[in-house]
Amino acid sequence: MNKDNRKELIRAYKEKAPDAGVYRFISKESGKYLIDNTMDLKGIANKLAFGVKIGAGNMLPPEMAKEAKQYGIETITFEILEKVDIKPEMTKDDIKEENDVLLSLWLEREDL
């Protein structure tokens, strides 16, 4: 990979729209769950996939890491609840703000 190609790839990565939204981890054994939001849904899904691959859940949030330790990482599932509807004119701050509002609405629905 030459220097110009590398710079172009870095620029394209920085300009790509975030994959923002609200997600849930669920323990199939206990029924406990955690709802949170992120600017990188794919990254969160990859954390769980990596945990399953290595057989450990220590990269998960503490509540779910405890469930993974007790029942096994394979009992934890990941679900995308809602994605931010990103419009071209939105800044990253706008997206983050919208993402935070979505999280608040989901937590209110779940009475958390």
Domains and CATH numbers, the chain: 18-110 (3.40.1440.10)
Under the banding of pLDDT at 50, 70 and 90, the label for residue 18 is confident
> How far is 73 from 59, CA to CA, in rounded Å?
11
Under the banding of pLDDT at 50, 70 and 90, the label for residue 9 is confident
- Segment 75-92 mean pLDDT: 93
Q: What is the pLDDT of residue 75?
A: 95
> How far is 102 from 96, CA to CA, in rounded Å?
10
> How far is 21 from 10, CA to CA, in rounded Å?
23
- Note whether 81 and 22 are within 8 A (CB): yes
Beta pairing partners, 82: 22
Under the banding of pLDDT at 50, 70 and 90, the label for residue 57 is confident
- Check residue 77 and report its DSSP letter: E
